[in-house]
Structure 1
């Protein structure tokens, strides 16, 4: 009987260790997730399964124009390590398959401006630092109704979805603090 109990305890410890390892990998290295909505159509579609790289945001604070990132859109929310753990438990592919739900404040968007950039809009174009932004990834004409000039503050990025006419993005919530970047889009897996 002792031997059976010892074997059961051993298996429980292995399974618990594997669970903790998966949680750590998902929290800090890579995470599979699913695109919700059509704000990135042209590049990513609703229900596309993707993997996001979480290692880079944890070690670098440098981002480039055109990179696709997952952000926490709650720009006034102070992010903590527990936010990462909650994000991983509630927003991975397995949890989505079980619950059919993902938090709606995590958005996948493209970086249009980095700190110090000046962004302006015409009716159909983005003007970045005085030059028309070439956006070959857009598959439809965007319509902008913005008359203000935006200067991206230090430690922030300005993000927009590729389907500009329906995207909720920095045009609504403002520039996004770099610490609100959860991960970078890496690959599509479906």
Structure 2
């Protein structure tokens, strides 16, 4: 009888801990591991960081220069179930090798006109001061984009080795999963 009561208490405690960790991971803060070199030299491959999920939870835009985690599958809608299954606790039970989450820097917000010219990035006609960029972009082609409402434009700090908005397009606000805090 005592053993049964003890087991029930432990199971209840573990269930509460599981639910709390899911809620915190979905809505507040989540660990993330950097994969690849697109953010060199700012972040290294394999580096661990924490991401605040509050911007995703309350749907507000990150600031210029913020480092964010994005869902690169911009051609599909995200659902609450995506947030649940992307939680690290759920990942323990659902192993996937699909690399769809990217860490990038916010360069443009709705209404911004972004231009690439002379190996530099211009926002609304002004050259960006980007001391964090690894090296000058190799691209010599002039390109420009106007960021639509409800989206952002992101780029990696290692511009010559980054799959970012130049390749995948504008990032819907609900695909911005959070911003780096540590």
The yes-or-no answer on 1:78 pairing with 2:77 is: yes
Cα deviation 1:119-154 (Å, max 9, x = unaligned): 111141011111111101113222224433200001
Alpha carbon RMSD of aligned pairs, Å? 1.9
Gaps of 5+ in 1: none
How many residues are paired up? 181
Q: TM-score, normalised by structure 1?
A: 0.88
Report the counterpart of residue 106 of structure 1 in structure 2: 101
Aligned match for 2:148, one of 144, 153, 165: 153
The corresponding residue for 1:126 is 121
Q: Quote the residue 1:61 is aligned against.
A: 60
Which stretches of structure 1, 4 residues or longer, exceed 6 Å deviation after superposition?
none
Does 2:117 correspond to 1:117? no
Shift of 1:89: 3.3
Q: Which residue of 1 aligns with 2:41?
A: 42
Q: Which has the higher mean CA deviation after the structures are superposed, 109-118 or 121-130? A: 121-130
Q: Distance in 1 between matches of 2:126 and 2:89?
A: 41
Superposed displacement of residue 63, structure 1:
2.4
For 2:106 and 2:97, how far apart are their aligned partners in 1?
22
Name structure 2 gaps, 5 residues minimum. none
SS of the equivalent of 1:57 reads helix
